[in-house]
């Protein structure tokens, strides 16, 4: 069966709800051949969900999809592929130990059962010739860089006959040269009558590559226009627009001592790419310092470096005036610093152990909790009772295994555990991610209370509201750098939007110079 050729595709009234959150709130989207449509939005705006529905990975709750004006039902990725839709995910779906050729053969329907590589190789060489887009097809996947792996994904879906190509944040793993190659390929493809949906948060790329742009915000489509009719400032505003809530009444900033000072720090990610590129900042007592930014711009690696979970390449870190050249989590534990980790159930607690065991995860060798080699469980149990009571953790008893608590209660527990023993400095990564309103409120209030009492706080959050609401100063991180360090209220929301998308507003640059 030959794949369907997509002249027009239309998604109508797509609605998808996950427990507690509407990810897609009646979204319409059209695309016709020859178009490159950028799907722009912050984290959690619903871009990837919408595309996963189109690709058959999620089922929509309501809505209809039409291809060439005919209603279709996409139940699985296989359906989507047969209908001419191909998707390159942010995380690649390749088999590491197999060669490029084998991976591509696996994907194609017409691959013969015997000696599959032979036929596929011919097709592949034709493709290279035609598009000038190469990859070493004999290499094993794990030998390739992320950029090359992405090429394999793209070649795979094109050979599979896709006429609509969905790319989810494709440039986040690419070098500038690779981005250029990718864009050239995309331009060639649309000239041939294919179409592309391009998920991104980078404003510059929207203008470089797309013909039309759709902006999503909190699950809704808030803006759509041809690229030539719009400009960066307009898009930035739509992307982040919100009513800025009056900042919570906080006590005035007292001037405190510097607790953390970071100079020119460089950190690599797991794949060996430098993702933190020379950041500089200080955090003082009586201060909440926020780091805003779309996730994946180096925040995770920065925090991991500061908490001893990851080595840094270059730069200087001082905690409490002491300079560290090397750092590990054991050294970090000895410092009087709380750490509320990203992905609380993955790192922050041991799901299968009871609450009381979890209450001393980072303090079990404090003299209060152990004498020599022996743990003092009476003290540990008293301590966990205290956490539960003081921080309103809803739990049947301290013997309950922690996995039976709700996300909000686990987070309150972690926060309580951390700040009741280590209060000089608090590193909190996405502390309210995925929590309901009341738990979010509790946690923000607690952070502010700690600040008023003299703690320094480093807060990383994708939630711009959170940053604007509780931080005293904040940085905007993009592509491993701090684009700006500012105070809430100093920048307009449009300027912040531009920076989240990697651009500096022109006015501001002029104002500064």
Partner 1 sequence: MIVIEKRKKYNTKQNLIIIIISIFLSLFISSLIFSLRGINPFFALYKIIFSSFGSLYGIKETITKAIPLMLCGIGLSIAFKGKFWNIGAEGQLLIGAVLATWVGLFIGKNLPSIILIPLMFLAGFVGGGLVALIPALLKVRFNTNEVISTLMLNYIIEQYVQYLVYGPWKGKTQYGFPYTDNLPPNALLPIIKGSRIHYPTLIIAIILSILIFFLLFRTKLGYEIRVIGENPLSAKYAGIDYVKVILIMMFLSGGIAALAGVGEIAGIHKHLTYPSQISSGYGFTAIIVAWLAQLNPLLVIVTSLFFGGILVGGDVIQTSFGFPFATINIFNGLMLVFISIGYFLIEYKVSFKGAEK
By the criterion CB under 8 A, which residues form the site for partner 1? 307-309, 328-333, 339, 341, 346-353, 357, 360-362, 364-365, 370, 373-375, 377, 403-404
| Residue 326 beta carbon to partner 1: minimum distance, rounded to whole angstroms | 14
Q: Checking DSSP bridges between strand 287-292 and strand 425-429, what pairing results, if any? A: unpaired
Q: Which is nearer to partner 1, 146 or 361 (CB)?
A: 361
| Residue 415 beta carbon to partner 1: minimum distance, rounded to whole angstroms | 15
User: In angstroms, rounded to a whole number, what is the distance separating the alpha carbons of residues 491 and 335?
Assistant: 35
Q: Checking DSSP bridges between strand 258-268 and strand 274-284, what pairing results, if any? A: antiparallel
Cβ atoms 53, 219 nearer than 8 A: no
| Residue 362 beta carbon to partner 1: minimum distance, rounded to whole angstroms | 5
Look up residue 140 and give its DSSP letter: B
Nearest to 288 by CA among 331, 320, 321, 251: 251
User: In angstroms, rounded to a whole number, what is the distance separating the alpha carbons of residues 446 and 251?
Assistant: 14
Q: Which is nearer to partner 1, 21 or 351 (CB)?
A: 351
Q: Which is nearer to partner 1, 258 or 370 (CB)?
A: 370
| Residue 405 beta carbon to partner 1: minimum distance, rounded to whole angstroms | 11
Look up residue 75 and give its DSSP letter: -
- Token pair for 176: 């500038």
Does an H or E element contain 216, and which? strand 212-217
- Torsion angles phi and psi, residue 386, rounded to 5: -65, -45
| Residue 378 beta carbon to partner 1: minimum distance, rounded to whole angstroms | 11
Q: Which is nearer to partner 1, 342 or 494 (CB)?
A: 342
User: In angstroms, rounded to a whole number, what is the distance separating the alpha carbons of residues 81 and 56?
Assistant: 9
Q: Which is nearer to partner 1, 175 or 352 (CB)?
A: 352
Q: Which is nearer to partner 1, 90 or 400 (CB)?
A: 400
Q: Which is nearer to partner 1, 95 or 331 (CB)?
A: 331
| Residue 414 beta carbon to partner 1: minimum distance, rounded to whole angstroms | 10
User: In angstroms, rounded to a whole number, what is the distance separating the alpha carbons of residues 152 and 172?
Assistant: 16
Q: Which is nearer to partner 1, 303 or 464 (CB)?
A: 303
| Residue 458 beta carbon to partner 1: minimum distance, rounded to whole angstroms | 16
Helices (H), 285-325: 299-306
| Residue 508 beta carbon to partner 1: minimum distance, rounded to whole angstroms | 39
Q: 191-195 — which CB contacts under 8 Å span 24+ positions?
A: 191/34, 193/33, 193/34, 193/163, 194/33, 194/34, 194/162, 194/163, 194/164, 194/165, 195/6, 195/9, 195/31, 195/32, 195/33, 195/34, 195/35, 195/36, 195/37, 195/163, 195/164, 195/165
Q: Which is nearer to partner 1, 336 or 352 (CB)?
A: 352
| Residue 271 beta carbon to partner 1: minimum distance, rounded to whole angstroms | 18
Q: Which is nearer to partner 1, 2 or 346 (CB)?
A: 346
| Residue 342 beta carbon to partner 1: minimum distance, rounded to whole angstroms | 10
Q: Which is nearer to partner 1, 115 or 404 (CB)?
A: 404
Q: Checking DSSP bridges between strand 425-429 and strand 374-375, what pairing results, if any? A: unpaired
**Cα three-residue angle 169-173-176, rounded to 5 degrees:** 100
- Token pair for 178: 């690779």
Q: Residue 86 in 3-state DSSP?
A: strand
Nearest to 168 by CA among 288, 17, 53, 283: 53
DSSP annotation string for 22-59: EEEEEEEEEEETT-EEEEE--TTSSHHHHHHHHTTSS-
| Residue 337 beta carbon to partner 1: minimum distance, rounded to whole angstroms | 12
Q: Which is nearer to partner 1, 373 or 512 (CB)?
A: 373
| Residue 7 beta carbon to partner 1: minimum distance, rounded to whole angstroms | 31
């Amino acid at each position: 069966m030959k794949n369907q050729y997509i002249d027009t595709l239309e998604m109508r009234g797509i609605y998808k709800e996950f427990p507690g959150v509407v990810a897609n709130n009646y979204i319409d989207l059209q695309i016709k051949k020859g178009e490159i449509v950028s799907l722009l939005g912050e984290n959690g705006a619903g871009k990837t969900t919408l595309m996963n529905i189109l690709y058959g990975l999620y089922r929509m709750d309501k809505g209809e999809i039409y291809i060439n004006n005919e209603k279709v039902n996409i139940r699985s990725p296989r359906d989507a592929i047969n209908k001419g839709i191909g998707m390159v995910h942010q995380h690649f779906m390749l088999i590491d130990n197999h060669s490029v050729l084998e991976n591509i053969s696996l994907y194609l329907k017409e691959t013969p059962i015997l000696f599959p590589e032979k036929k596929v190789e011919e097709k592949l060489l034709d493709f290279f010739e035609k598009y000038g887009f190469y990859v070493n097809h004999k290499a094993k996947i794990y030998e390739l860089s992320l950029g090359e792996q992405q090429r394999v994904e793209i070649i795979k879906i094109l050979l599979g006959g896709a006429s609509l190509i969905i790319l989810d944040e494709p440039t986040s793993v690419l070098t500038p040269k690779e981005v250029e190659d990718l864009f050239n390929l995309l331009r060639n493809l649309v000239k041939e009558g294919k179409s592309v949906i391009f998920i991104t948060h980078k404003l510059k790329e929207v203008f470089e590559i797309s013909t039309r742009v759709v902006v999503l915000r909190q699950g809704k489509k808030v803006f759509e226009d041809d690229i030539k009719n719009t400009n960066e400032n307009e898009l930035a505003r739509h992307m982040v627009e919100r009513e800025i809530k009056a900042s919570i009444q906080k006590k005035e900033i007292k001037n405190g001592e510097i607790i953390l000072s970071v100079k020119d720090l460089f950190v690599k990610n797991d794949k060996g790419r430098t993702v933190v590129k020379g950041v500089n900042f200080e955090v003082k007592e009586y201060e909440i310092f926020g780091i805003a930014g779309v996730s994946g711009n180096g925040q995770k690696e920065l925090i991991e470096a500061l908490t001893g979970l990851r080595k840094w390449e270059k730069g200087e870190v001082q905690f409490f005036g002491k300079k560290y050249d090397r750092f590990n989590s054991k050294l970090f534990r000895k410092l009087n610093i709380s750490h509320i980790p990203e992905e609380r159930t993955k790192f922050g607690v041991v799901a299968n152990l009871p609450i009381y065991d979890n209450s001393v995860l980072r303090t079990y060798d404090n003299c209060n909790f152990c004498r020599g080699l022996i743990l003092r469980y009476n003290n540990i149990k008293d301590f966990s009772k205290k956490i539960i009571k003081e921080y309103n953790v809803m739990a049947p008893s301290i013997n309950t295994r922690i996995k039976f608590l709700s996300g909000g209660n686990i987070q309150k527990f972690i926060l309580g555990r951390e700040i009741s023993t280590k209060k000089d400095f608090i590193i909190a990564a996405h502390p309210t991610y995925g929590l309901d309103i009341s738990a979010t409120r509790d946690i923000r209030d607690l952070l502010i209370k700690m600040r008023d009492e003299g703690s320094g706080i480093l807060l990383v959050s994708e939630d711009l509201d959170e940053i604007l609401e509780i931080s005293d100063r904040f940085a905007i991180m993009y592509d491993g750098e701090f684009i700006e360090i500012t105070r809430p209220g100093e920048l307009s929301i449009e300027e912040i939007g531009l920076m989240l998308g990697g651009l500096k507003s022109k006015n501001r640059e002029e104002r500064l110079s």
